[in-house]
């Protein structure tokens, strides 16, 4: 069964209506961030008050499967040792001098609940973002514990609340939920299904990905995480190969690409081999190493005839730029799914 890409479907009302629920979920990303912040406002103030009444923690432990997102955002900023612990339980040294933060948007993970219970038992200060009356929240009851109630079960929206807490207690980067929500709203507007192909960056990117295997790269720690999430979205949407990684892992893929045969018939019935396309997620990181790696990747892509697509974020904070890149990539993946047709 052959699969081809029909770009006319990206402006076709009937085709877009079939994906309305998924596109609507993307468009509501900013609203979910605001909703999470409102729901958690009182608990957030309580957690900040507890932190202000105590000395700065000896270390911060992010527990649970979603701890890697917090690590990507916090580790470069945190003034005390920071550990991401996605495994059940806690590091053996964690105790009453340490802060344990947990991101549990669905609240039902048994391993995460076990880690929270262990943190309470050891006397750690505990801040948990989870749905109220969930398994994880129930295990967080303790004198030095605060549950930031999660209403949307959205990982990004839940993470923004935790990051805003860490910002307020001087343990993390600037993370204002309103700024993140505004950045998401701008992406939702520019990538809206009601904006046609000529002016819609996500639809343009989807067309660029239609006949290619995406190779996604982000230079900063957060942009690299966004690249992995975007590659996952593309794989899920298209069933095709999409990879993300560090520059040294992606360069061999680009260097192995054979020059395009100028005699290839673009209208042949035989399926053509999909070539790589380099997708650069640019969050504006002003770092000499990032600039050098980006230059190498783009120069190598140019030498081997590999197209390069750049996705930019214009928000001011790192967290908002991460959210913007992630949503832009997810919109492109959704449009790619809409445009792919099987015969």
Contact (CB, 8 A) for 282 and 311: yes
First and final C-alpha spacing in the chain = 6
Q: Confirm whether 3-29+180-342 and 54-174 share one CATH topology.
A: yes
pLDDT digits (tens, 9 = 90+) for 186-243: 999 999 999 999 999 999 999 999 989 999 999 999 999 999 999 999 999 998 899 9
| Residue 269 pLDDT > 50 | no
Q: Phi, psi (5° rounding) for residue 248?
A: -65, -20
Report the 10 Å Cβ neighbour count for 111.
15
3-29+180-342: CATH topology is Rossmann fold (3.40.50)
Delimit the domains of the chain by residue range: 3-29+180-342, 54-174
Q: Name which of 156, 134, 135, 162 is nearest 61 in CA terms.
A: 162
Q: Is the pLDDT reported for residue 273 higher than 80?
A: no
Task: Identify the CA nearest to 81 among candidates 94, 65, 96, 66.
Answer: 94
pLDDT at res. 267: 53
pLDDT score recorded for residue 287 = 87
**pLDDT band at residue 262 using 50, 70 and 90 as cut-offs:** low
Tell me the mean pLDDT in the region 9-22. Answer: 95
What φ, ψ does residue 216 adopt, rounded to 5°? -105, 130
Fold of 54-174: Rossmann fold (3.40.50)
Share of the chain above pLDDT 70, in %: 95
pLDDT digits (tens, 9 = 90+) for 306-343: 999 999 998 889 999 999 999 999 999 999 999 998 76
Q: 146: closest CA among 171, 128, 162? A: 128
Q: What is the largest CA-CA distance in the chain?
A: 73
């Amino acid at each position: 069964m052959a699969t081809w890409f029909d770009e006319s479907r990206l402006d076709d009302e009937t085709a877009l209506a079939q994906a309305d629920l998924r596109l609507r979920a993307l468009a509501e990303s900013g609203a979910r961030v605001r909703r999470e912040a409102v729901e958690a406002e009182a608990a957030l103030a309580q957690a900040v008050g507890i932190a202000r009444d105590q000395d700065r923690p000896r270390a911060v432990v992010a527990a649970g499967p979603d701890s890697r997102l917090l690590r990507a955002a916090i580790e470069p900023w945190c003034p005390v040792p920071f550990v991401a612990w996605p495994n059940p339980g806690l590091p053996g040294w964690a105790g009453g001098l340490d802060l344990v933060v947990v991101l549990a948007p669905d609240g039902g993970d048994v391993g995460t609940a076990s880690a929270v219970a262990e943190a309470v038992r050891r006397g750690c200060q505990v801040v948990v973002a989870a749905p109220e009356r969930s398994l994880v929240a129930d295990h967080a009851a303790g004198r030095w514990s605060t549950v930031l109630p999660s209403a949307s079960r959205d990982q990004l929206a839940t993470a923004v609340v935790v990051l805003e807490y860490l910002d307020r207690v001087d343990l993390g980067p600037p993370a204002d939920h309103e700024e993140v929500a505004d950045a998401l709203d701008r992406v939702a507007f520019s990538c809206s299904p009601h904006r046609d192909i000529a002016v819609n960056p996500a639809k343009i990117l989807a067309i660029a990905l239609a006949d290619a295997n995406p190779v996604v790269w982000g230079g900063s720690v957060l942009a690299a995480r966004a690249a992995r999430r975007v590659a996952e979205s593309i794989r899920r949407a298209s069933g095709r190969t999409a990879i993300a990684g560090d520059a040294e892992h992606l360069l061999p893929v680009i260097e192995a690409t054979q020059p395009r045969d100028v005699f290839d018939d673009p209208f042949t019935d035989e399926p053509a081999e999909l070539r790589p396309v380099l997708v650069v997620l640019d969050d504006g990181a002003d770092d000499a190493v990032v600039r050098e790696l980006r230059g190498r990747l783009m120069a190598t892509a140019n030498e081997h005839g590999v197209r390069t697509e750049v996705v930019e974020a214009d928000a001011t904070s790192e967290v908002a730029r991460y959210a913007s890149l992630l949503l832009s990539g997810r919109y492109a993946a959704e449009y790619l799914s809409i445009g792919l047709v099987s015969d």
